[in-house]
Amino acid sequence: MPEFLLHNLRLLDPEAGRLVSGMKVLVRDDRFVGVGSDVDAPPEVPRLDLGGRVLMPGLIDCHAHIMSIKTKWANNTLMHMTHSFANAAAAIKLRKILMRGFTTIRDAAGADMGHRDAVASGLLVGPRLFVCGRGISQTGGHGDFRTRVDHAFPCACHHLSAGTTGGIARLADGVTEVRRAVRDEIRLGADQIKVFASGGVGSDADPIHFLQYSMDELRAIVEETENGATYAMAHAYTAEAIYRAVDAGIRTIEHGNFLDAHAADLMAEREAYLVPTLVAYEATMKFGREQGYPEQNMKKNEYVLSVGTQSLEVAKAAGVKTAFGTDLIGELDSHQSEEFEIRARVLSNAEVIRSATTIAAEVVRRVGELGVIAEGAYADALVLDGNPLEDIGLLASGGDDIRVIMKDGKLWKNELGLQLGGEA
């Protein structure tokens, strides 16, 4: 039974937004079993001196895509590669994400229970996964990856084929079919259900302002998720799309760049969460063209980028809880940590950190188990030389300033020479 005591540290409390000195943390197996100034352990238990450094919870990204492998054609890339190649690339992405300090991610379509279980069982090294399977899209919606000259209609017999659906989404139209799709994704192990409720940047046939799915279809999706003891997350950009989704009962809004006060008030009333993904648009604008991103999609990206961080300010004014997300595609994945710096332009460092810890834990429905260093929580933690409440760059540097990365009580990055934990 691996057990060790961390001491001589400053504990970052994300909810309070402060550092607490004089604390000790006892780790046993994959959990924190004691946190406090009076915590102790038997003499034979190793004591790890952190030299006064900051100990904070592991980070959570609530909108990632491990199966988006190449920037060119965005999610469509799975149509042009074998499953074995895509999964090998995803394995590399998972390790890199963990090395940036993200000990948990919510994959927002593409990853399935096999990826989740491979990490949980130790076959793959990476963050803990909450998966969607494939998102639910209407014909001609953000998840319909056929070209605009393709007249073929995907048949049900090929519903598992990456070449038919892009591997990220499945098509379903009408109340009966969306119910079937949601039930099937739950059967296949989805932790939550993704629905495309507006136009998007990476698709060809649907401008950003398009509304997708009828209210009856959206409500049917929500009812089926609730019947399956889970929830729906919605890709939605415009205020109208956001309002419709939340009114139908959808729990988290992804992107939400054009959020207005009216939609934000409804979100606050219904206790819905916003998951902005601002770094995706900045990184795409800087590097998308050189990596082959189509010009028509670059124009859509410029449109959503034009409103900048306004959604963060609108959400804060209305009291909407905002979680951390990135939504980076393909090779742009390396810019994941830059989301911290973007949010810090308008929010306090404490608010940004909270979005990637305690609020993100609420989104994945693991309050008290993730995003905190507390008794009973998973032993996910980072060790930093400095204080990210004062310098958000420590988290925005892509893992370079993180000295130790612990997940499930194992040390996957260990620059302090600590002798306990898993091998990096």
Look at 231 and 68; give whichever has higher pLDDT: 231
Over residues 36-62, mean pLDDT: 95
**Rounded Cα–Cα distance for residues 387 and 191 (Å):** 34
Min mean pLDDT across 22-26, 156-160, 233-237 is at 156-160
- pLDDT tens, 119-144? 999 999 999 999 999 999 998 888 76
Give the per-residue pLDDT at 150: 58
- Whether pLDDT at 160 is above 50: no
- pLDDT tens, 264-280? 999 999 999 999 999 99
Give the per-residue pLDDT at 158: 38
Average pLDDT, the chain: 91
Q: Which two tokens stand for residue 234?
A: 């919605």
**Rounded Cα–Cα distance for residues 201 and 366 (Å):** 31
Over residues 391-420, mean pLDDT: 95
**Rounded Cα–Cα distance for residues 315 and 299 (Å):** 26
Q: Are strands 135-137 and 169-171 parallel, antiparallel or unpaired?
A: parallel
Over residues 206-221, mean pLDDT: 94
Banded pLDDT at 68 (limits 50, 70, 90): confident
Banded pLDDT at 293 (limits 50, 70, 90): confident
What are the structural domains of the chain?
3-58+372-414 (2.30.40.10), 60-363 (3.20.20.140)
Give the per-residue pLDDT at 143: 75
SS3 per-residue string spanning the chain: CCEEEEEEEEEEECCCCEEEEEEEEEEECCEEEEEECCCCCCCCCCEEEEEEEEEEECEEEEEECCCCCCCCCHHHHHHHCCHHHHHHHHHHHHHHHHHCCEEEEEECCCCCHHHHHHHHHCCCCCCEEECCCCEEECCCCCCCCCCCCCCCCCCHHHCCCHHHHCCCEEECCHHHHHHHHHHHHHHCCCCCEEEECECCCCCCCCCCCCECCCHHHHHHHHHHHHHCCCCEEEEEEEHHHHHHHHHHCCCEEEEEEECCHHHHHHHHHHCCEEECCHHHHHHHHHHCHHHCCCHHHHHHHHHHHCCCCHHHHHHHHHCCCECCCCCCCHHHHHHHHHHHHHHCCCCCHHHHHHHCCHHHHHHCCCECCECCCCCCCECCEEEECCCCCCCCHHHHCCCCCEEEEEECCEEEEECCCCCCCCCC
Min mean pLDDT across 63-72, 241-250, 345-354 is at 63-72
- Whether pLDDT at 75 is above 60: no
CB 193, CB 187: distance < 8 Å: no
Give the per-residue pLDDT at 423: 41
Give the per-residue pLDDT at 207: 85
Give the per-residue pLDDT at 3: 92
Banded pLDDT at 146 (limits 50, 70, 90): low
Burial class (CB in 10 A: 0-12, 13-18, 19+), 225: buried
Give the per-residue pLDDT at 78: 60
- Whether pLDDT at 239 is above 90: yes
Over residues 312-331, mean pLDDT: 96
- Whether pLDDT at 161 is above 50: no
Share of the chain above pLDDT 90, in %: 76
Give the per-residue pLDDT at 156: 44
Most confident of 79-93, 178-192, 202-216: 178-192
Give the per-residue pLDDT at 291: 77
**Rounded Cα–Cα distance for residues 110 and 90 (Å):** 10
